[in-house]
Structure 1
Amino acid sequence: MKLIVGLGNPGKQYEKTRHNVGFRVIDALPQQPHVIYLKPDTFMNNSGTAVKAAMRYYKISLPDVLVVFDDKDLPLGTIRFRTKGSSGGHNGVQSIIDHLGSSQFARLKIGTAPADPNEVIHDTTDYVLGKFTKEEEQQLPDVIEQAAQKVKEWIRKTPTHPNV
C-alpha cells in the first residue's frame, strides 16, 4: 500500500493558491488499487496529524509515503524529487517530520517561485497564500501533469514494504 499526500489548505478560498499545488496534483491522479491519496483536511501547519493518522489506519510504512508540495524557492515548473531531507522551511513538511519523528520519507517539490528572478518575496505567508498570476495559471496544467507523471513513476518503481 502506498500513501500519496498532497499538501494544501482546506477551503474554497485557498483552492488556487500557491500553497495548494499539492492538492491539485492529487486531483490530477487516477485512482489505483493499493494507493491512498490524501489531501489533509487540517491546515498546512498541522498536516503531520493527518499523515500520521492515515499511516496508522492503513498500516503504511514510512518508505511507502510520498509527500507532494509547493516550494517557493524553486522556479515555477521546476519539479524536484527527494528521498529524504529537511523541511526546507516548509511548515507542512516540518509538521509531518515532527509527527512522524523522521524525515525519511519521499517528497516531490513543485516550484512556485516568481518567474522574474529579480522579484523579491517580502512576506512569505502572503506569497504562498496568494494566487498565481494569469500567466502562471496558464502554465500550471502542464506543471501539474508533469508532477502527476512523476508520482505515477514513483508508485510504479518503488517496491511496497511490509505493512506495519
Structure 2
Amino acid sequence: MPLGRAGAPVDWLVVGLGNPGAEYVGTRHNVGFAVAGVLADRWSLPKPKSRYRGLVSEGRTGPGGPRVALLLPQTHMNDAGASVG
C-alpha cells in the first residue's frame, strides 16, 4: 500500500471514521476518531499531518513492528471514501 512518506509502503492502514467539527467531539459519531487516538498514543505515532483530505500519522506499531498509517478523514462519514480513495 503506497501511502507512506517518500514512497515507503505501509503494512496497515487504519481509518478512524468520524465527523469533523466541534459538535461531534465526544459523541458516538466519532468513536472511530477516539479509537485511532488511542492507537496513536499506544504506538507513539507523531502528530498527524494534513493529507488525502484527512489527517495522517505514520510510524510503526513498535520496534521492528509493521509500518502503519492512521487516517482520520476530514469529510463527513457519508463522504469518507473521498479521503480513503
TM range, smaller chain: 0.5 to 0.7
Runs of 4+ in 1 over 3 A off after TM superposition: none
Residue identity over aligned pairs, in percent, reads 50
Q: Offset of 1:25 from its aligned partner? A: 0.3
- RMSD, aligned CA: 1.0
Q: Offset of 1:13 from its aligned partner? A: 1.1
Deviations 1:71-105 (A, max 9, x none): xxxxxxxxxxxxxxxxxxxxxxxxxxxxxxxxxxx
| Aligned twin of 2:76 | 43
In 1, Cα distance between the equivalents of 2:32 and 2:17?
5
Letter in 1 for 2:27: T
Q: Which of 29, 32, 40 lines up with 1:22 in the alignment?
A: 32
SS of equivalent residue, structure 2 residue 70: strand
Aligned positions, number: 52
TM-score (norm 1): 0.31
SS of equivalent residue, structure 2 residue 80: helix
Deviations 1:36-63 (A, max 9, x none): 10110001100011001xxxxxxxxxxx
1:13 pairs with 2:58: no
| Structure 2 runs not aligned, ≥5 long | 1-9, 46-58, 61-66
In 2, Cα distance between the equivalents of 1:46 and 1:15?
18
In 1, Cα distance between the equivalents of 2:23 and 2:31?
14
Structure index of larger Rg: 1
Structure whose residues are more often helix by fraction: 1
| Structure 1 runs not aligned, ≥5 long | 53-164
TM-score (norm 2): 0.57
Deviations 1:20-48 (A, max 9, x none): 10000001112232211011000110001
Q: Offset of 1:12 from its aligned partner? A: 1.4
